[in-house]
Amino acid sequence: MRLLKVLKPGFSTTIQDYGRVGYQKYGVPVSGVMDPVSFFTANLLVGNHMNEACLEATVLGPKLRFLNETQIAITGADLSPSINHDDVCNWRTLQVHKNDLLSFGHSRSGCRAYVAVKGGLSIPILMGSRSTCIRAGFGGHQGRPLKAGDVLKFNANSGKPIPILKLPESLIPEYTSKHEADIILGPQDDYFTKESISKFLTGTFTISMDSDRMGYRLEGEIIKYKNDQRMISDAIPVGAVQVPESGKPILMMRDAQTTGGYPKIAVVSTPTIAQLGQAKPNDEITFQQVSPIRAQQSIREYLKSINGIKHTLKKLSSY
């Protein structure tokens, strides 16, 4: 069944879910949503399984024509959404009718907005995921960002409409232009001078315009090796901070390659990477060293907060 037609694609709108878990050993990037909390919440607001594929819009959202009645939710960045030119709110269930027009204006806060549709988008599963991997050209809709004229389908078994839900204000995140990133030093921090490590931990870095889903290039302090360090390429996890010969760090994000030969001065914690999914060019990042125990604790707190959103919306839907 047809769901919607893309009239304008926006800056970069792709189909994403949580990503391809377990395939990095084959050279396949994780991909998936840059901001999992907003993604999960969007699906919960329309009664979907938390990992149903949705649209991820970056900075400038798309213009979409709905070809059938359905329910949607928009979460994440506030990109000034409207339906038929009437402003609508993020973080709540929205009813749309046949021929309704969903469009976006300027960015008020954040970088990436998520649009979930009741029942989920009908997209083939490839290696356990419906996510678009742009650089490799597979997944999502024809392995690329959406373009004008694309028509997307939704899953037929979408069920009855759900009650209108709204996420409580206390659970809605605030997006700023300054970010604190929790990191664990290593695995190659011994390749760097003590002075450079100190600069890395005390300096302020700016996200370059030359940044994308693969990685954020950072401008700021020059991070130097002890000497002419060379290493054999090894694994790159999402969140690794590579330092090339230029001395300008690169924070690896969801579409990062799986191996690389630049020393990694640190790895950013999972909850922080999720928050940085809403970071945009010219935003500032500072790095804060934490212990492995504290990093593990932050993951537990992160998962607990997601479960809290799930239980809150489930309780509201039962009223």
What CATH number is associated with residue 187? Answer: 2.40.100.10
Number of domains in the chain: 2
Shared domain check, 151 and 184 = no
- Say if residue 17's pLDDT is above 80: yes
pLDDT of residue 156: 64
- Say if residue 287's pLDDT is above 90: yes
Contact present, 241 and 183 (Cβ < 8 Å)? yes
pLDDT in tens, 56-89: 999 999 999 999 999 999 999 999 999 999 999 9
> Has residue 303 been placed in a domain?
no
> Has residue 140 been placed in a domain?
yes
For residue 281, give its domain range: 178-298
pLDDT of residue 145: 98
Shared domain check, 69 and 13 = yes
- Say if residue 54's pLDDT is above 80: yes
Average pLDDT for residues 150-166, to the nearest whole number?
A: 83
Confidence of residue 158 (pLDDT cuts 50, 70, 90): low
Shared domain check, 219 and 135 = no
> Has residue 305 been placed in a domain?
no
Confidence of residue 230 (pLDDT cuts 50, 70, 90): confident
How, if at all, do strands 284-289 and 178-185 pair? parallel
Shared domain check, 196 and 91 = no
> Has residue 307 been placed in a domain?
no
Strand order in the sheet with 151-153: 86-87, 81-83, 101-104, 63-66, 2-8, 151-153
Average pLDDT for residues 250-262, to the nearest whole number?
A: 95
pLDDT of residue 249: 98
Shared domain check, 22 and 166 = yes
Q: Considering 116, 150, 171, which residue would you say is the last residue of a domain?
A: 171
Cβ partners under 8 Å of residue 50, min gap 6? 40, 43, 44, 310
Q: What is the DSSP string of 148-199?
A: TT-EEEB-S---SPPPP-B--GGGS----SEEEEEEEE-SSGGGB-HHHHHH
> Has residue 209 been placed in a domain?
yes
Average pLDDT for residues 308-316, to the nearest whole number?
A: 92
Fill in the amino acid letter for 210.
D
> Has residue 154 been placed in a domain?
yes
pLDDT of residue 51: 96
Average pLDDT for residues 214-240, to the nearest whole number?
A: 91
Q: How far is CA 117 from the centre of its chain?
A: 17
